[in-house]
Structure 1
Amino acid sequence: MTCRAVKRKKDKQGKGQAAFLLLSTSVFPFVGATTHVVAQTTPTEQSVSRDGVRTFNILAQPLRDGISEFNRQSGVQVSQASGTISPAIRTNAVTGQFTPQEALRRMLSGTGVSYRFISSDSAVIGGVAQSASGVTGEDATTLDPIIITAGRKAASGSGFQGTPDWVYQEPSSVSVISRQAIQNAPVRNTRDLLDNVAGVYANRSEAQNPGIAVNIRGLQDQNRVVTMIDGARQNFQRSGHGATQRTYVDTAFIREIDVEKSGTSGVGGAGALGGSVNFRTVEADDIITGDKKWGVELNAGTGTNEFTFDGSGIAAFRLSDSFSILGGVAHKKVGEYEIGKNGELTLNDLTVDNGSVLSTGQEVLATILKAEAEFTDDLKGSLAWIRNDSEFSHGSYDTDGLVITKNTQDVLNNTITANLNWDPDSDLINLNARLWYNHTRNKEVRGASTVTNYLDWPVDYSLGTVGVSLDNTSTVDMALGALSLNYGVEAFWDRGKTEADTFYASDGTDLTASFTGATPSGNRDVYSAFANATLEHEDWLVVSGGLRYDYYKLHGNTSVFGLENVNQPVWGCIRYRFGRCVSEGWIDQLVTTYPETVLDVDNSQGEFLPTAMVAFKPYDWLQPFVKYSRSMRPPSIMETFFTGGHPGATIIQYAPNPDLVAEVGDTFEIGANITQNGLFTARDSFRFKAVGFYRQIDNYISMGTVVRPETGREHTAYVNVDGTTRMKGIELEANYDAGPWYAGISYTHLKTDFGDSYTYDGTAYEVSPSVIFVPPRNKITVDAGVRLFEEKLVLGGRISHVGGTSPNIGLLTASYVSEDYTLYDLYGSYAFNENTKLRVAVTNLTDVAYVPALGTTSYPGPGRTVTASLNFKF
């Protein structure tokens, strides 16, 4: 038998990187390396009889994803007979032991999609298979092979911890944390979800802060890594003794987390030096199953070690075939956890008291509202509002070791997004328009301290960002293959503002800038235009190239404060007699003043940023690729307008630097994807992605000591580091799923080399004592489990080993050092039925005492914690 050539169906959304080949042939004799990279084919000797019973565990999901999962679990191949089937159709959940015929019937019940088995291991949906002679059934002629595209809409797949399959067909260093992984891991904080991703770390230098600070390949803070919620940038920055950048989002609303680790020439890439992280939120289709008009998902969890409560409720309603709404609320409350008891740590006596870490409690209330509309067959839109209110505190014993100093924090984050997609029946138009707004406000009350001379003092930090983007994708068939062109523009505007009550020292000095200057007010505008072309030659070669132009402008005013000791005439006693003043008059007295110079900031710069990629398939199951990208990160408001000094102490410590230039990076990558089904059995799957990278950065920004001409004094300021900052490493993620059992691995090797000198005003200096967080060189996670009792029961375990690390430079180096540590976790779930599931987990099973990577001895990691949650769907 000869194999018919396969032609790829165009993905009108421009997102169809993962494709599942659905064949209606009764026999396909090839397996292993000769199987199409995205096809699960079943050999004759392993075909499923009509009376054969298999175990199914298929979630309710979009039709294309459901058919792909049915194909994997049943060994039956399904194709679309004719016509168009709406991508909005969702299949029903199927859990238990059934014949493939019964399982498919249950999946499609009530969806309006017809089906027919034409052989023991092939079926047709959407119509009846018919031969040229009009014969149907076993003797029917086969249909032409077609592609059903899962694309980036897939919520989960066969990859590491449920990673969607498209990730292992994308010729780029991308990772995805699936909804399956999110729901299976009750976490104390959303950042915990990032721990198992290759090349990615979550900073824990301020463990009490529920905000997420992401480190990718050694880069973090100051928007080096762009973090987004549904494409809306979260640019908020706040100075402190740890990470500065924070994103606030609750796990209950996350559909998936997309991680891009290099530069891109598309929407979301403007101003991104070290990649991006996008927290995508749930949609109505995630909650409503089958042909129902509404759906509800409830979740409630609790646990030990001050894991008090984690609950949520989400409801969605399909008001018509073209309009749906979704709303949800989530509440989390955790207390001051205990650290592990096994192992030795050098603890900070000011923050760890009787084994508990002070101020690690937090309470979060989050809500989501979303409307989705299909105005016409060609025009779709959505509007969403996500709100997160987080309350927590910073605290420690005062230097006397008796009184606890506590800074209370209330962070309110609002993100509003509006999206519009116009996709008419034309290869030249697939237009996306996006408008979004994010505002983060941090209301703080700084607790009284004997270190300085102030009592409780309120300070408000806020940053608002408005963003817009417009892009279009055109596809043209050429002699060499299909050419896809994506081009557009994007822009965003940051407006930062910090306010505090006026504060005077005992000598009358106005020290208000000591509260507001380290997180200063200011403005930043970023504009970008881009174009990217991708050529797909047959099924074995993909070549792409892109060019982006980024331009930024920082504007506003700031101050630099000097110090002068001058003699000033004051009225006082000029003659004493027997201890009494007998004569008064004008006398000279030495007085310290702090002259202020206001600086106007007007800093701008533009840069052309190319990207290029080549991927090919020497075999259907193997896709090597190479990629180059150039990226730029504008200075932030904080770096440019920095002023004042340590809160309540001084205003002459810091100085702005209006002359900063942007960081520019070049990233080189070589990698490979492997996607294989039916490797050893008809049901198994293997997914593998490996990437080696080298990144070099010019003009890296760090802290240094400068002499400002306005004062003639030394100040701490942000400066551009000389030389080249380098990062290089290897990342891999792999998973083998045999059905009854699975095993996966994630591994990272990273080496960083930061510069330690800079030139300012013609003079060479060494970088000031400041902390540059350096991730560990090695991190590995192994995850494995079994599925029992018709796959209703899942039991799994995870081992994570993280190497030791310390900051590159710093006076506080000793506090930010972490040693190697290994954590053991257990987890499990039991599905009582398709609507009710119990999940349990034990983290840090051996109760190890450890300091997390990118953390500090002031906040060691939590000890053993047992959690349980119950999930209901209606």
Structure 2
Amino acid sequence: MNRRLATLMAATALAGLSMDHAAMAQEAGAILLDTITVSATRTEEAAINALASESVVTAETVDLSGADSLGAVLKTVPGLEVEEVADSPGVAINIRGLSGYGRVAVNVDGARQNFQASGHSLSGGAVFVEPEFLETATVTRGPVANAYGSGAIGGVVNFETKKASTFLKPGETWAAESFSRFNTNNGWAQGATGAARIGEAFGLLGSVVYRKNWKYKDGAGDDVFNSSNEIASGMVKAEIDPGNGHSLEIGAITYNTSYTSGDTNTTNYDNDVTDNTISAKYRYRAPDNDWLDVTASGYWTDTKLDQTYLTGTLAGGDRSFRIDTFGFDLSNTARYRTGGFAHATTIGVDGFRDIVDVEDTAGGSAAFYTPNGQRSVYGAFIQHRIDYEDVVEVIGGLRYDGYKMQGGGTDTSGNRVSPKITLGFSPFARTFLDGLQLYGTYAEGYRSPSITETLIAGTHPGSFPFDFLPNPNLKPETAHNKEVGLNYRRNDLFRQGDRLRMKAAYFHNRVDDFIDADIQTSGCTSFLFCYQYQNIANALIEGWELEASYDMGLMFVGLSGQHQRGEDLDTGDYLNTVPANKLLTTVGFRPLEDVDATIGFQVEAVSAQKRSDSPSKGYGLVNLFASYKPREDLQLGLNIDNLLDHKYQPYLDADNGPGLAVKFTLRARLGG
């Protein structure tokens, strides 16, 4: 970690606290499903109206929860689990039992995050994102968002970062905000954000955050090995809006972290990660022509992990993993009417290219486990949406996907056309059940094999050696998802001004030619058995999800639940990647009319996962939260996580979770 950069960032945040700031508006308990976002169909609408299993998390809810990681940011989203390890700040995202190697497409301002390094920590992929930079996180579950690119047979997570136009309050031409947090069981964080509007056409925002995290203790009071890290992040985003339908956003994000990885039984490493993302998005929406709504974007993501061996025979040696991803996206939506029917036709093309470069100057085998190579993935789609008098809605689409992979003397390719059809029906419009919408979907998805799955080779090191075998004959995975769901939106239900929102869905996702590592006893070169990625399973994952919010002003309640089952249809074996059943309840209060204060609690109940080769225990956690604004320019936050100091280990995680943690947050703002 660059100590000068860290010191500068911390000093900048501290200096900001001496100013007389104006606090960001807190939408505690707001109905998140009403948040306007770019939905699974690439159109702007509220999540409650989307004919898909879609959820939204905003910066305000991240602030109220005191979230310091993506796991904390996304924990209220049903059907989604964030896989975390103590010895890395990177995370993997699991949606409906599918994760790793691009099964969940993760985008930051439209830029795909495809980093992967084989090993004992998140070997299927890792994402590095600073929570303080986020404006919204939109999650679409299942392979229904095929307009967002190839491979997302589990779903899509779109992170949108802050920008000047949303950070500045009405009438402001500039603003600065500082942020400080102390966590009794983890460390401290400080940051600063500033934005300015120059004239009517230009806006600029910059933000920095520094985190110093020490080893945390679990619920038994034991230090969790190698759980400390240091993170420094920065972001700049410019907006150009000259009018007449044109707009342009250009952003750059850097994320830098240092930490030690490995456990007491494996090789330990010093790690330095640098993750850079540059993105640009242009939009032209013709003011007098509904047939033209063009969006064009391009991006570059560069993630590099530098490691130094700390233990073993290679101690002192170095190795590095780097992946560069270049991508683009171009689409147009034409809107028109025929009688009582409203139409929207979207046509687009997209693609990305991964370049993997791995070096091991110490003489190890890193380049065999995460092979060098290149993969190009591209596609085109057409989608037509018809809405009749807000009663019937039909969405049909076709997507063509292709890929080409090169490396290790192997050259493979493939392609496929995937259909999607969705029917939405509001049978009780303009009756006492107005606001209830039913929908059904059938959608297919297509994921090409990754470079590692295809080309991995070499011998596993240590006292228990075995061979990894490449498999250039891997077939792509194909998902077939059936889903039925309901959306319910109602105001003034029990009293004037209250709001109820609910989404529920049942899904049945069959994945043909599912790729997984399998033990082989034939064809091994040196040992009695070996590992090879194969199309071993026709996997089935099914279950239901629920998300509901009720807000009556004085009090608000939220529910989020999931129940999932997964198995290999060929053998009847369990799928070990399916998360445990979970129910999360949030209750909040605004006790005083004339004081901006919010208090509440959250209960997370997770069942035991017995349908696994490595069963886990169930657990329950209680968290408390409070926010208070003594004046408009100052905000105080208090969070108590794991109030009962319970010892637990999430099913998909390799380590115990943190014990009791008390977090104090101070935000201050100045603007004019």
TM-score if structure 1 supplies the norm length?
A: 0.69
Q: Which residue number in structure 2 is paired with residue 152 of structure 1?
A: 37
Which residue of 241, 266, 279 maps to 1:417?
279
Q: How many angstroms does 1:215 deviate by?
A: 0.6
1:821 aligned to 2:619? yes
Q: How many angstroms does 1:501 deviate by?
A: 0.8
Which residue of 473, 490, 498 maps to 1:684?
498
1:525 aligned to 2:376? yes
Separation in 2 of the partners of 1:847 and 1:706?
A: 44
Q: Which amino acid aligns with 1:151?
A: I
Q: Which residue number in structure 1 is paired with residue 367 of structure 2?
A: 516
1:35-46 maps to which residues of 2 (within 5 A)? none
Give RMSD over aligned pairs.
2.5
DSSP-derived class of the 1:654 partner: strand
Q: Which amino acid aligns with 2:425?
A: F
Q: Judging changes above 3 Å, is the alpha-carbon distance between structure 1 residues 751 and 398 closer, same or farther for their aligned structure 2 residues?
A: closer
* Contact 2:103 2:152 survives alignment (8 Å): yes
* Contact 1:773 1:806 survives alignment (8 Å): no
Q: Which residue number in structure 2 is paired with residue 835 of structure 1?
A: 633
Which residue of 236, 242, 245 maps to 1:378?
245
1:485 aligned to 2:323? no
Q: Which amino acid aligns with 1:780?
A: L
Q: Which segments of 5 or more consecutive residues in structure 1 lack a partner in the other structure?
A: 1-57, 73-148, 155-163, 342-353, 400-404, 504-511, 558-599, 758-765
Q: Judging changes above 3 Å, is the alpha-carbon distance between structure 1 residues 741 and 165 closer, same or farther for their aligned structure 2 residues?
A: farther
DSSP-derived class of the 2:46 partner: helix
Q: Which residue number in structure 1 is paired with residue 12 of structure 2?
A: none
DSSP-derived class of the 1:263 partner: coil
1:626 aligned to 2:440? yes
* Contact 2:269 2:310 survives alignment (8 Å): yes
* Contact 2:145 2:156 survives alignment (8 Å): no
Which residue of 232, 243, 262 maps to 2:111?
232
Q: Deviations over 1:314-355 (max 9, x none)?
A: 1111111100111110011111111113xxxxxxxxxxxx71
Separation in 1 of the partners of 2:156 and 2:35?
A: 23
Which residue of 422, 426, 432 maps to 2:295?
432
Q: Which residue number in structure 2 is paired with residue 638 of structure 1?
A: 452
Q: Which residue number in structure 2 is paired with residue 310 of structure 1?
A: 189
* Contact 2:524 2:530 survives alignment (8 Å): no
Larger Rg: 1
Separation in 1 of the partners of 2:505 and 2:407?
A: 42
Q: Deviations over 1:110-152 (max 9, x none)?
A: xxxxxxxxxxxxxxxxxxxxxxxxxxxxxxxxxxxxxxx9732
* Contact 1:263 1:269 survives alignment (8 Å): no
Separation in 1 of the partners of 2:463 and 2:111?
A: 37
1:337-348 maps to which residues of 2 (within 5 A)? 337-341=216-220
* Contact 2:483 2:508 survives alignment (8 Å): yes
1:719-758 maps to which residues of 2 (within 5 A)? 719-722=534-537, 724-754=538-568
Q: Which amino acid aligns with 1:461?
A: F
DSSP-derived class of the 1:357 partner: coil
Separation in 1 of the partners of 2:105 and 2:468?
A: 26
Separation in 2 of the partners of 1:187 and 1:477?
A: 44
DSSP-derived class of the 1:640 partner: helix
Q: Which residue number in structure 1 is paired with residue 335 of structure 2?
A: 475
1:774 aligned to 2:625? no
Q: How many angstroms does 1:836 deviate by?
A: 1.5
1:415-814 maps to which residues of 2 (within 5 A)? 415-424=277-286, 425-449=288-312, 453-503=313-363, 512=364, 514-557=365-408, 600-619=409-428, 620-647=434-461, 653-706=467-520, 715-722=530-537, 724-754=538-568, 772-776=576-580, 778-790=581-593, 791-805=595-609, 808-809=612-613, 813=614
Q: How many angstroms does 1:396 deviate by?
A: 3.1
DSSP-derived class of the 1:721 partner: strand
Q: Which amino acid aligns with 2:135?
A: R
1:347-386 maps to which residues of 2 (within 5 A)? 355-386=222-253
* Contact 1:388 1:413 survives alignment (8 Å): yes
Q: Which residue number in structure 2 is paired with residue 179 of structure 1?
A: 59
1:241 aligned to 2:120? yes
Q: Judging changes above 3 Å, is the alpha-carbon distance between structure 1 residues 414 and 861 closer, same or farther for their aligned structure 2 residues?
A: same
1:334 aligned to 2:201? no
Q: How many angstroms does 1:712 deviate by?
A: 9.1
Q: Deviations over 1:225-247 (max 9, x none)?
A: 11111111001111122432111
Deviates more, 1:246-255 or 1:650-659: 650-659
Q: Which amino acid aligns with 2:310?
A: G
Q: Judging changes above 3 Å, is the alpha-carbon distance between structure 1 residues 165 and 711 closer, same or farther for their aligned structure 2 residues?
A: closer
* Contact 2:460 2:466 survives alignment (8 Å): no
Q: Which residue number in structure 1 is paired with residue 431 of structure 2?
A: none
Q: Which residue number in structure 2 is paired with residue 849 of structure 1?
A: 647
Q: Deviations over 1:296-318 (max 9, x none)?
A: 1211010211x221121111111
Higher strand share: 2
Q: Which residue number in structure 2 is paired with residue 325 of structure 1?
A: 204
Separation in 2 of the partners of 1:266 and 1:324?
A: 32
Q: Which residue number in structure 2 is paired with residue 301 of structure 1?
A: 181
Separation in 1 of the partners of 2:620 and 2:260?
A: 29
Separation in 2 of the partners of 1:356 and 1:648?
A: 26
Q: Which amino acid aligns with 1:279?
A: F
* Contact 1:677 1:683 survives alignment (8 Å): yes
TM-score if structure 2 supplies the norm length?
A: 0.89
Q: Judging changes above 3 Å, is the alpha-carbon distance between structure 1 residues 212 and 328 closer, same or farther for their aligned structure 2 residues?
A: same
Q: Judging changes above 3 Å, is the alpha-carbon distance between structure 1 residues 745 and 366 closer, same or farther for their aligned structure 2 residues?
A: same
DSSP-derived class of the 1:184 partner: helix
Q: Judging changes above 3 Å, is the alpha-carbon distance between structure 1 residues 651 and 338 closer, same or farther for their aligned structure 2 residues?
A: closer
Separation in 2 of the partners of 1:750 and 1:712?
A: 40
User: Percent sequence identity over matched residues?
Assistant: 30
**How many residues matched?**
631
Q: Which segments of 5 or more consecutive residues in structure 2 lack a partner in the other structure?
A: 1-22, 429-433
* Contact 1:665 1:697 survives alignment (8 Å): yes
Q: Which residue number in structure 1 is paired with residue 8 of structure 2?
A: none
Separation in 1 of the partners of 2:394 and 2:644?
A: 49
Q: Which residue number in structure 2 is paired with residue 277 of structure 1?
A: 157
Q: Judging changes above 3 Å, is the alpha-carbon distance between structure 1 residues 472 and 460 closer, same or farther for their aligned structure 2 residues?
A: same
Q: Which amino acid aligns with 1:386?
A: I
Separation in 2 of the partners of 1:774 and 1:169?
A: 28
Q: Which residue number in structure 2 is paired with residue 862 of structure 1?
A: 658
* Contact 1:266 1:486 survives alignment (8 Å): no
Q: How many angstroms does 1:369 deviate by?
A: 0.6
DSSP-derived class of the 1:314 partner: strand
* Contact 1:265 1:547 survives alignment (8 Å): no
Which residue of 267, 279, 286 maps to 2:166?
286
* Contact 1:60 1:289 survives alignment (8 Å): no
Q: Judging changes above 3 Å, is the alpha-carbon distance between structure 1 residues 795 and 181 closer, same or farther for their aligned structure 2 residues?
A: same
Separation in 2 of the partners of 1:445 and 1:648?
A: 17
Q: How many angstroms does 1:855 deviate by?
A: 1.6
Separation in 2 of the partners of 1:193 and 1:151?
A: 18
DSSP-derived class of the 1:355 partner: coil
1:10-409 maps to which residues of 2 (within 5 A)? 151-152=36-37, 166-204=46-84, 206-244=85-123, 245-264=125-144, 267-305=147-185, 307-341=186-220, 355-397=222-264, 406-409=268-271
Separation in 1 of the partners of 2:126 and 2:471?
A: 23
* Contact 2:180 2:191 survives alignment (8 Å): yes
Deviates more, 1:179-188 or 1:332-341: 179-188
* Contact 1:689 1:733 survives alignment (8 Å): yes
Q: How many angstroms does 1:797 deviate by?
A: 0.2
Q: Which amino acid aligns with 1:186?
A: G
Separation in 2 of the partners of 1:377 and 1:295?
A: 27
